[in-house]
Structure 1
Amino acid sequence: MPTENSFDIALGALRQAISGLENAIDMRIEAQRDNSEVASEVKRVHADRARLAQELDQSEFRANRLEEVNREVSRRLVTAMETIRAVLDR
């Protein structure tokens, strides 16, 4: 009977080792799945960042252009007002 008892102990240890290995494999698969999800999310974030940076550049360009046009309109209004004053003063 001691042989059966040590056999049962060895069989139990083997089952426990196999179970531990299966758990480790499951954890590894889950970690790889999580890593691929993270990598996909990072790619999406980079794509969004690039798109937003481009939109910001375009918005800044439009704002600068509007500022230039505003200065030109203001300059023309001042010139027109001065011309009108000169005509009225005659």
Structure 2
Amino acid sequence: MTDRMPNAFSGHEPDEPAGPATGSMTGSMSPADKIAAATRRLAAALDAMESAVERRREYDRGSDELAARIQALGIDRSRLANELDGTLVRSRELERTNREIAERLDVAIGTIRSVIEEDAS
């Protein structure tokens, strides 16, 4: 039993021949043919690795863009929450001022009615 992992790119065991030159033909291949076959397998593995790296880069770019959008939304949310808080404070101040004015008007109207009633009597 070996401690080596299977070749992730070819799907073959590490000690198992891969590619078109497998089986009984392996023994009859010249050293140059073996090197050429190994070079083709290496090139295919490198191509697969480059594709995986590019897919990961695209994923990371998408993740970075998403993180930037989330951060921008968080900033907008904070700004809007602050504006809303300010608007609520202003609204409460206006309501309080409106009640005070209404009370003063009621007092003034009551005073005017009293004066008119006294003059009429």
For the residues of structure 1 that align with 2:44 and 2:112, how far apart are their CA atoms?
A: 99
Identify which of structures 1 and 2 has the higher relative contact order when contacts are C-alpha pairs closer than 8 Å and 6+ apart. 2
How far did residue 9 of structure 1 move?
Answer: 4.2
For the residues of structure 2 that align with 1:26 and 1:71, how far apart are their CA atoms?
A: 67
For the residues of structure 2 that align with 1:41 and 1:56, how far apart are their CA atoms?
A: 22
For the residues of structure 1 that align with 2:52 and 2:66, how far apart are their CA atoms?
A: 21
* Paired amino acid for 2:56: R
For the residues of structure 1 that align with 2:37 and 2:104, how far apart are their CA atoms?
A: 99
1:46 aligns with 2:94: no
2:109 to 64, 71, 81: 81
1:30 aligns with 2:58: yes
1:16 to 44, 63, 67: 44
For the residues of structure 2 that align with 1:8 and 1:78, how far apart are their CA atoms?
A: 103
* Paired amino acid for 1:14: L
For structure 1, the 5+ residue unaligned runs are: none
Identity of aligned residues (%): 35
For structure 2, the 5+ residue unaligned runs are: 1-27
How far did residue 32 of structure 1 move?
Answer: 1.5
Structure holding more helix per residue: 1
Compare 29-38 and 78-87 and name the one that shifted more: 29-38
* Paired amino acid for 1:40: A
How far did residue 78 of structure 1 move?
Answer: 0.6
How far did residue 13 of structure 1 move?
Answer: 2.7
Give the number of equivalent residue pairs. Answer: 89
* Paired amino acid for 1:27: R
Structure 1 or 2, whichever has the larger Rg, is 2
For the residues of structure 2 that align with 1:88 and 1:13, how far apart are their CA atoms?
A: 110
For residues 4-58 of structure 1, the C-alpha deviation after alignment (integer angstroms, 9 at most, x for no partner) is 3x55544333222111100001011111111111111111111111100000000
